[in-house]
């Protein structure tokens, strides 16, 4: 019988967080939820905290703290806000689901790693911006990082029982997003509603736009480099529109191992939650006979320049990946707010990469300084774009 473990969920009201809560509800005997956090969805956070019996609920927007306290009145759950409370939540459990979107998730993840926790990492931006700092902290403090992104979780599964020196290359698969067959001219006219309408996956707005630009795959390239310690030239990206094969590992003998499954994030989430065991999920079972055909194609870096920018940032190293991520976050937010066009996202990121000349980060503080500079740079670039 599976042993119960304590669990904290950072970003409990987002797509990954709610899927995690769904799985916890299916297997309540396996988890003791200690803490939940959210950015602004105070009512959803309070409901989840009461439902799971969490002892701590942290809301990022401090103006919502009175509302959270009101909703939690009479329960055994304490309401809190602020960086210290977020770090407390991140260190309150043996297993931490890190699902805060963007660079905002970096500090609590670092707190969990410093405390030697097992971190189920759904926040790819943390590794993108502070990869070496994070992996060094995990090694130094005896922490474990379990990848939750479907692609990296697939690779993690395909590596089990094999030696790292026998790996020839990793292959990250990508659906190609909603604009895979659109021309450059067509993509320039795409709206936020069209960009978030992913053909296969149910995700939040930011990651859906990243899928449409294929920046998500660029960020995953950088993430894979840090997770699996392989150089950029041994990590490939392959378009696979059906999203059945989630990634592959090629070995030196020519064997290729792939992990397959329905496009349902509850599968990789469950793998991380139960590791090193497995647990049942309600995800649809894969029916290859009904799917019948799996297709593949090379990505087009002309129509999707974000791939080129991400690979270049990884190869350059230093501050470049942090700048890439920060610039993309600001540009995506501006696109979702209809302040810039779809084609402006990658253009702004490229200009920011050329404009920010910060030294390589040596600490989380350095990363956050570079992040702020890159964000300010993109905001200034957008002012000139609108002029």
Confidence of residue 2 (pLDDT cuts 50, 70, 90): low
pLDDT attached to residue 223:
96
d(CA 161, CA 149): 21
Domain positions in the chain are 5-147, 149-311, 317-387
Q: Which CATH architecture has domain 5-147?
A: 3-Layer(aba) Sandwich (3.40)
Question: Which residues of the chain form beta strands (DSSP E)?
Answer: 5-10, 31-38, 56-59, 78-80, 95-98, 118-121, 144-147, 167-174, 235-239, 245-251, 256-260
pLDDT attached to residue 163:
94
Closest alpha carbon to 340 in 352, 327, 331, 351 = 331
Given this chain, do its domains 5-147 and 317-387 carry the same CATH topology?
A: no
For the chain, what percent of residues have pLDDT higher than 90? 88
Weakest-pLDDT range from 42-46, 197-201, 224-228, 333-337:
197-201
Domain 317-387 has CATH 3.40.50.300: no
pTM as predicted:
0.92
């Amino acid at each position: 019988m599976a042993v119960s473990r304590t669990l904290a969920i950072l970003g409990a009201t987002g797509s990954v967080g709610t899927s995690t809560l769904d799985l916890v509800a299916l297997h309540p005997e396996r988890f003791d939820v200690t803490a939940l956090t959210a950015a602004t969805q105070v009512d959803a956070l309070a409901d989840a905290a009461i439902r799971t019996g969490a002892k701590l609920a942290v809301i990022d927007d401090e103006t919502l703290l009175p509302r959270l306290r009101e909703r939690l009145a009479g329960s055994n759950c304490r309401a809190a806000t602020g960086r210290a409370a977020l770090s407390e939540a991140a260190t309150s459990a043996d297993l931490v689901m890190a699902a805060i979107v963007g660079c905002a998730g970096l500090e609590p993840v670092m707190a969990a790693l410093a405390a030697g926790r097992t971190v189920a990492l759904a926040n790819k931006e943390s590794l993108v911006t502070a990869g070496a700092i994070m992996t060094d902290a995990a090694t130094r403090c005896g922490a474990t990082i379990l990848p939750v992104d479907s692609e990296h979780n697939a690779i993690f599964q395909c590596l089990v029982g094999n030696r790292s020196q026998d790996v020839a290359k990793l292959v990250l698969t990508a659906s190609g997003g909603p604009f895979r067959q659109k021309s450059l001219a067509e993509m320039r006219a795409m709206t936020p509603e069209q960009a978030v309408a992913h053909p296969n996956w149910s995700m939040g707005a930011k990651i859906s736009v990243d899928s449409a630009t294929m920046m998500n795959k660029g960020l995953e390239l950088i993430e894979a480099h840090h997770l699996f310690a392989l150089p950029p030239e041994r990590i490939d990206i392959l378009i696979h529109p059906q999203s059945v094969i989630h990634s592959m590992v090629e070995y030196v003998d020519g064997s290729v191992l792939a992990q397959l499954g329905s496009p349902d994030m509850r599968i990789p989430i469950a793998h991380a939650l139960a590791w090193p065991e497995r647990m049942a999920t309600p995800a649809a079972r894969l029916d290859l006979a009904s799917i019948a055909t799996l297709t593949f194609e090379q990505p087009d870096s002309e129509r999707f320049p974000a791939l080129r920018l991400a690979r270049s940032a990884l190869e350059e190293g230093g501050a470049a990946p942090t700048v890439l991520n920060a610039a993309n976050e600001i540009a995506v937010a501006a696109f979702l707010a209809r302040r810039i066009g779809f084609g402006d996202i990658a253009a702004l990121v490229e200009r920011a990469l050329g404009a920010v000349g910060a030294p390589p980060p040596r600490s989380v503080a350095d990363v956050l300084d570079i992040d702020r500079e890159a964000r300010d740079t993109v905001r200034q670039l957008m002012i000139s774009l609108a002029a």
